[in-house]
């Protein structure tokens, strides 16, 4: 029986459709920059969670070019990950490697400002260690990320919260090791508790292959609640679905 999960209504919910993948990267970079400026003004630091997969690469690369490169106090940004494959950090499937190549290296972001999920370690231990590091980072306050970037899988997964997997039911922890039978592998992922505590969550969705899952969730079509991405609704935050026209073609 698929897991049903609460999808509390976010404080505000928006859908923004742009023409193509290039416009999506531009719009995503703008959202990132706005959230960073809000965080700098409010708290002096910007805690951001990066998405993996392939879609965000263009957004990360766009941030390394003007005007975004020069408009963000990169020394005041702390990077986290929404999920990671259980592979070493230099593996071609590593989300960390993708972000390092597209963002950290071009901006010369020191390792100390990046909290990497250790895909090379035992998954259970790596998840516990990541959770502990997040809690240390927020030093006794509730772990509340300023900005969480997420992708959408064709099956409605987000981060590494896949349909009918155990991590969907995790209510206490912020990070979890999640066995994903469809790939016969383990993944590391933030949980709904971490995602739905965020100030702002932005889904970045590109391509016709995502159109069915996006429409099912955003139009609340039959069975939408079984798709993990439908469970992301920051209860005290804002939610933006940013799609290109191909991904929005069934809305
Ligand atoms: C991952 C991601 C995952 C991704 C979606 C979309 O590790 O794969 O975090 O949740 O965001 O699968 O991936 P694409 O952007 O490659 O389509």
Compute, in angstroms, the gap from residue 179 CA to the centroid of ligand 1: 16
Mean pLDDT of 212-225: 97
The mean pLDDT of the chain is 96
Mean pLDDT of 110-126: 98
Mean pLDDT of 114-134: 98
pLDDT at site 7 = 53
pTM across the whole model: 0.96
The DSSP code for 152 is -
Atom nearest to 151 CA in ligand 1: 11
pLDDT at site 140 = 78
pLDDT at site 8 = 58
Mean pLDDT of 42-55: 98
Q: Which of 49, 153, 167 to mutate to test the pocket of ligand 1 (most atoms within 8 A of CB)?
A: 153
Mean pLDDT of 43-63: 98
Burial bucket for residue 133 (CB in 10 Å: 0-12, 13-18, 19+): middle
DSSP letter for each residue of 217-235:
HHTT-TTGGGSGGGG---T
Mean pLDDT of 89-96: 98
- Residue 83 Cβ inside 6 Å of ligand 1? The answer reads yes
159/163 Cα distance (integer angstroms) = 11
pLDDT at site 201 = 98
Q: Which of 24, 50, 51 to mutate to test the pocket of ligand 1 (most atoms within 8 A of CB)?
A: 51
Percent of the chain topping pLDDT 70: 97
């Amino acid at each position: 029986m698929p897991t049903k999960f609460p999808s509390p209504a976010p404080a505000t919910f928006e859908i923004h459709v742009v023409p193509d993948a290039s416009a999506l990267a531009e719009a995503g970079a703008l959202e990132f920059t706005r959230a960073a400026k809000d965080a700098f003004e409010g708290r002096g630091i910007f805690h951001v969670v990066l998405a993996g997969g392939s879609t965000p690469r263009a957004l990360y690369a766009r941030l390394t070019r003007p005007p975004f490169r020069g408009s963000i106090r990169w020394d005041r940004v702390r990077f986290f990950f929404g999920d990671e494959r259980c592979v070493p950090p230099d593996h071609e499937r590593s989300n960390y490697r993708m972000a390092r190549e597209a963002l950290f290296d071009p901006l010369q972001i020191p390792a100390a400002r990046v909290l990497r999920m250790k895909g090379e370690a035992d998954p259970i231990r790596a998840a516990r260690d990541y959770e502990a590091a997040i809690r240390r980072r927020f030093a006794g306050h509730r772990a509340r990320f300023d900005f969480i970037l997420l992708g959408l899988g064709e099956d409605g997964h987000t981060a590494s919260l896949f349909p009918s997997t155990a991590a969907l039911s995790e209510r206490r922890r912020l990070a979890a090791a999640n066995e994903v039978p469809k790939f016969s592998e383990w993944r590391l992922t933030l949980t709904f508790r971490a995602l739905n505590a965020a100030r702002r969550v932005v889904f970045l969705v590109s391509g016709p292959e995502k159109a069915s899952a996006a429409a099912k969730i955003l139009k609340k079509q039959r069975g939408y609640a079984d798709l993990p991405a439908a469970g992301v609704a920051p209860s005290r935050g804002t939610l933006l679905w940013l799609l290109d026209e191909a991904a929005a073609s069934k809305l």
